[in-house]
Amino acid sequence: MPLTTSGTAACSSCKFFDAEGGNTALGLCRYNPPISQPTGETAGVWPKVNAMDWCGHFEPATT
């Protein structure tokens, strides 16, 4: 599989991107499970990403 480049991918168009509260600039990456926290008072946290970021896990969102 060829390496995805930033010219063809962005988090905002990935199937794992969750636009948090309709925010178009930031969102949550749902590729991996939430990151656990050191105290039991806080639930796990999904990684927050910029909509224009990209990574090697990119898969185009389907409509």
Q: Domain for residue 28, yes or no? A: yes
Q: Domain for residue 34, yes or no? A: yes
CA dist 57 and 63 (Å) reads 19
Higher pLDDT, 35 or 8: 35
Q: Domain for residue 3, yes or no? A: no
Identify the pLDDT of residue 2: 53
Which residue do the tokens 């991996």 mark? 32
Summarised one tens digit per residue, pLDDT across range 37-61 is 787 777 888 999 999 999 999 999 9
Q: Which residue range forms the structural domain that includes residue 16?
A: 11-50
Q: Domain for residue 19, yes or no? A: yes
pTM for this structure?
A: 0.75
Q: Domain for residue 57, yes or no? A: no
Contact, 31 vs 53, CB < 8 A?
no
**Total of domains in the chain:** 1
3-state SS, residue 28: strand
Q: Domain for residue 22, yes or no? A: yes
Identify the pLDDT of residue 63: 72
Whole-number mean pLDDT of the chain?
Answer: 85
Identify the pLDDT of residue 36: 85
Closest CA to 56 of 9, 22, 12, 13: 9
